[in-house]
Homo-oligomer: A and B are copies of this chain.
């Protein structure tokens, strides 16, 4: 063992693992591209004050924040929303809606655990400048399509809520401290109805409010089936009424997208209340074993904080760690195997020229081709061809060249074929299609 170790909470991805990860990222991005989301790429390091606008002092302790050589307080970006808000505030020329995504590294100074890393990837997707239910529906539709493209749609539930329903209940009487109420709602599944109501009252609700919350949390199912009931028990007030109107329009849009059955209403989805202004959603595995696979919501007032004009926004974030856990559990994580089309095997040094010419020709057709770089014997070269998972091995000996015929071995079947030198490229490309 070397004296040098990787930092805890950080990961190395060597070729086999990286190939699988690349496939997952590519799948996510190709769905996003079909929706007209556009890739952006923003700095990994930003001024600390930009990132404190949203998160305040606690950010400093939970991030890699430091003073650079020039005395600037900077932070390795733990998320990307403040950077996006910075751009929106400075670039008045962007035509809306702005539909951005990026998959990039994020850093948080957390206690490293299995699914709490200090360096991780996150795909962030936002629509800025559209406050419509159509934008909400598009974010949910792309979420569902990504889950489907990753082959985990059957293993997850997309849970939605509108935080204003809960706010409406709390607003009917003055609940001073909403945090304990949220906590009780978050723990709903651990209690029976009686205990739940008691706990809500202990947390500061009166009896009527507690009943109202209980009724709403009882409703859980596809938005198509539950909407009428939600409407019946929704609290009064303009905001709650708007929430109901939007949920209805959302239901219709999701039906048109053909995904209404996949979207489940659940009042216990209360992520980051201070931040979100309307729809919130999270995707959970149906077995309830993992943290949220992804989530997001509408945050119409955030960009404002950064000095920009009021800009409605809805976003979605997908981290890599929980997603990988889920895909491995569901046995749909891509194969962690190298991909090589052809290995060209020189039997001796005196055939190098012909081998390199052949390698060059094969690569020019787009194939993945390797050859010996170490002067190894035939047996070692076959071992290496195995290691890199080569599909075909072309054996090139001096005698073969004299006879104008090369041996091509199919590594899956073990079958060998004699092929005239001039036909080798066509033979191999035919086999690999």
Interface residues of A, Cβ cutoff 8 Å to B: 1-7, 10-15, 18-19, 21-22, 33-36, 38-47, 49-50, 53, 61, 64, 66-70, 72, 74, 76, 82-83, 86-87, 89-91, 94-97, 99-100, 105, 107, 109, 118-119, 127, 129-132, 134-135, 137-138, 141, 145, 252-253, 255-258, 306-308, 338, 340, 352-357, 360, 363, 366-375, 383-384, 387-388
- Could you tell me the distance in whole angstroms from the C-beta of A91 to the nearest C-beta in chain B? 8
**Nearest CB of B to A424, in Å:** 16
Chain B residues with CB below 8 A from A19, complex form: 38-39
- On chain B, the residues within 8 Å of A138 by CB distance are 373
Q: Is the CB of B90 within 8 A of A363?
A: no
- Contact A4–B368 (Cβ < 8 Å): no
Q: A4-B86, A64-B68 are in contact. Are A134 and B373 (CB under 8 A)?
A: yes
Does A41 lie within 8 Å of B13, measured CB to CB? yes
Q: What's the Cα separation between A69 and B7 when bound, in Å? A: 13
User: Given the complex of chains A and B, what is the CA–CA distance between A384 and B19 in angstroms?
Assistant: 37
CB–CB B2/A360 < 8 A: no
Given A39-B18, A132-B374, A307-B2, decide whether A7 and B256 contact each other with a Cβ distance below 8 A: no
Smallest CB-CB separation from A374: which chain B residue?
Answer: B130
Q: Which 4 A-B pairs have the closest CB atoms?
A: A2-B89, A15-B38, A256-B356, A66-B66
Give, as a whole number of angstroms, the nearest-CB distance from A73 to chain B. 11
Known: A6-B43, A39-B15, A388-B36. A132 touches B373 (CB 8 A): yes
Distance between Cα atoms of A372 and B96 in the complex (Å): 11
B132 touches A375 (CB 8 A): yes
**CB neighbours of A64 from chain B (8 A):** 45, 66, 68-69, 74
Tell me, in angstroms, the Cα distance from A38 to B388 when the chains sit together. 10
29 A-B pairs within 8 Å (CB atoms) are namely A4-B86, A4-B306, A5-B47, A7-B43, A7-B47, A11-B43, A12-B87, A15-B100, A34-B367, A36-B388, A38-B338, A44-B44, A44-B105, A45-B118, A61-B69, A64-B68, A64-B74, A68-B109, A70-B109, A76-B76, A95-B383, A95-B384, A95-B387, A96-B374, A99-B370, A130-B373, A134-B371, A256-B356, A257-B360
Within the complex, the shortest CB–CB distance from A396 to chain B, in Å, comes to 12
Known: A43-B6, A96-B374, A357-B256. A34 touches B366 (CB 8 A): yes
- Chain B residue numbers with a CB within 8 Å of A82 are 4
A299 to B17, CA, bound (A): 27
A308 to B131, CA, bound (A): 57
A45 near B119 with CB under 8 A, answer: yes
Q: Which of B2, B42, B86, B372 contacts A13 (CB 8 A)?
A: B42
Q: Report the minimum CB–CB distance from A304 to chain B (whole Å).
A: 11
CB contact under 8 A between A2 and B356, given known A18-B41, A34-B363: no
> Which residues of B are found within 8 Å of A109, using beta-carbon distances?
68-70
Distance of A343 from chain B, by nearest CB (Å): 9
Is B41 touching A372 in the complex (CB atoms < 8 A)? no
Residue of A38, A83, A130 ringed by the most chain B CB atoms within 10 A? A38
Take A95-B384, A253-B356 as given contacts and tell me if A340 and B4 are in contact as well, using a CB distance cutoff of 8 Å.
no
Say yes or no: A18 contacts B38, CB within 8 Å: yes
Decide: B4 and A307 in contact? CB cutoff 8 A: yes
Contact B306 A2 (CB under 8 A): yes
Measured between C-beta atoms, what is the minimum distance from A342 to chain B in Å? Answer: 9
Residues B1 and A90 in contact, CB atoms below 8 Å apart:
yes
Task: Report if A74-B43 is in contact (Cβ < 8 Å); known contacts: A87-B12, A352-B252.
Answer: no
Bound-state Cα–Cα, A45 to B352, Å: 42
User: CB distance B3 to A307 under 8 Å?
Assistant: yes
Cα distance A264–B53 when bound, in Å?
55
